[in-house]
Structure 1
Amino acid sequence: MTGALLAAALAMLLWPDPRALRRARLRTVGVGTGRGLLRSATPSLPVPVIAGVAATAVAALLSTPLVAGLSALAGIVGGRSWVVRQRARRAEDRLRSLTEALGALGAELRSGRSVDAATDAAVAACADEECGTALARALRAPGVPVPSVPDADFAAALDRVSAGVRLSARTGCSLAAVVAAVEDDLRARERMRQELRTATAGPRASAMLLAGLPVLGLAMGNGVGADPWRVLTTTATGQVLLVLGVALELAGLTWSGHLVRRAVR
């Protein structure tokens, strides 16, 4: 029964995300300008799968099959958390790069340079290649819909820039003012994110400390000669308690991370 529950949990965690598959298919085909080349993406194993397999292999060598299954579950959840953090960090870096590019664009426009020349300068100042390409498309082809990007804030900023280009072309108003407004808004959002991250540092540390208390309890039990690890891995009652404890631990970490992410948004 326990093995079946673990297998079902692993299958649910390993079930692929349809949005991720759709983005992978979009990245698989690349259109070459004037060349008509097809670029195939190199398949790679997801990080959660690698983490789960590694944790399972180590636990299988050191302990029982039940511990190996629980280790796989913990490895997959930890791998997914790492992927989410990396994706959020890339989104923040992309927004920061767009902010710097908009600053360079506004400075070039205020100095009297043309939109094309200012766009070239902004793309050169953009540290992220994807960000530079999207910004150039929004400035030079404002009527063309921007392809879907993984970050909603980034897409909204590009839409505002495109709207500013169209408004400037129709009415002759200053594009530099619109670019400066978008830049100021992105910088204000960045400052707010930093303040929220600082404010939630305490709850995050408390959650990690509470998550480590069971390990401390096992170490204290071994110190007094109770051998709790043997009870948890070799007896039926201990195995049930071990599964419930790991499930509650993962649920608590997942929920606390969800609350912190909602507060930082």
Structure 2
Amino acid sequence: MTAALVLLGAALLSWPGSPALRRTRRLAATGGRGRIPVPVPRLPRPVLWGAGAAAVAALLSTPLVAVLAGAAAVLAARTGDRRRAGVREEARLTALAEALAALAAELRSGRSLTEATAAAVAACADEESGRALAGSVVGPRAGPDPGGRTGTEVEQALQRVSAAAALSRRTGCSLASVLGAVEDDLRARSRQRQDLRSLTAGPRASAALLAGLPLLALGMGSGIGADPWRVLTTTATGQVLLVLGVALEGAGLAWSARLVRRAVR
């Protein structure tokens, strides 16, 4: 049983991530003529982290600790995924702003819309954002009201670009000026988010420090010979307190993160 848990934890923790899976799919799809692409299974990161942490904790401690460790690992993985998604969204917004600046400059220089769009897409640092911009300018997307606040910030910006392109075709107004206004708005929003993140760095650090205090208390208790970990994992009262403490810890971290996200928006 112990060996099985060790092997399960090692297998789950070494499961290939998204970049490796994408490379494997590309190799399978383009590896040779007549070769059939082989689908590669993919498990969500929270599932991998949760199962791996639970397997390791079950090996080292009690089943209750394994369940709590798995739940904590799932929450940590989801938090990491949200943070990476935010970084990715910020990178797309920056690339889109640069592409809009290039597109407006090309239009002001007298190039046609098709040529200017192709040059802006080629200069865009993010390929996905470049394709989306080309689709919005050359063929405006059908969707929600461009003035509404629907979808991500990238989608909202593309909706405004799409509406500007449609208005320019109908009325003959300068598309470069409108694209410049959208670019300025994106850059202003980015600066505002950076300022807010700087202002909320202190509260985030305080929340992380407070979250680590229970671990410090466990270490101090072990240092003086009280053995709090044995009490928390082997006695009924200790297990109830452990579950309650982990629940309160998770609720406090979630509430702090929610307050910070609301302040940054």
- Native 8 Å contact 1:97 1:131 kept in 2: yes
**Partner of residue 235, structure 1:** 235
Q: How does 1:61-210 map to 2 (within 5 A)?
A: 61-142=59-140, 144-145=141-142, 151-210=151-210
- Say which is worse superposed, 133-142 or 187-196, in terms of deviation: 133-142
Q: Residues 50-73 of structure 1: CA distance to partner in whole angstroms, max 9, x if unpaired? A: 110111111111111111111011
User: Percent identity over the alignment?
Assistant: 65
Letter in 1 for 2:200: T
What secondary structure is seen at the aligned counterpart in 2 of 1:173?
Answer: coil
One-letter amino acid of the structure 1 residue matched with residue 212 of structure 2: G
Matched residue SS, 2:169: helix
Offset at 1:84? 1.0
| TM norm structure 2 | 0.81
CA offsets per residue over residues 9-42 of structure 1, 9 Å max, x none?
xxxxxxxxxxxxxxxxxxxxxxxxxxxxxx9975
Amino acid at match of 1:257: A
| Matches of 1:58 and 1:152, distance apart in 2 | 38
Aligned to 1:222: 222
What RMSD, in angstroms, separates the aligned Cα atoms of the two structures? Answer: 1.8
Q: State the match for 1:18 in structure 2.
A: none
Change (3 A) 1:175 1:41: farther
Gaps of at least 5 residues in structure 1 are 1-38
Gaps of at least 5 residues in structure 2 are: 1-36, 145-149
Structure 2 residue matching 1:247: 3-state secondary structure: helix
- Per-residue deviation at 1:254? 0.9
Alignment partner, residue 254 of structure 2: 254
Deviation per residue, 1:94-130 (Å, 9 max, x gap) = 1111001001101111111111111011101112121
Deviation at 1:197, TM superposition (A): 0.3
Q: Aligned residues, how many?
A: 224
**Distance in 1 separating the partners of 2:152 and 2:222:** 50
CA distance in 2, matches of 1:43, 1:131: 27
CA contact (8 A) 1:106 1:176 kept: yes
* Worse-matched range after superposition: 220-229 or 161-170: 161-170
Determine the structure 2 residue equivalent to 1:56. 54
Flag the 1:219–1:89 CA change in 2: closer, same or farther, 3 A: same
For 1:122, give the aligned amino acid. A
Secondary structure, in 3 states, of the residue corresponding to 1:145? Answer: coil
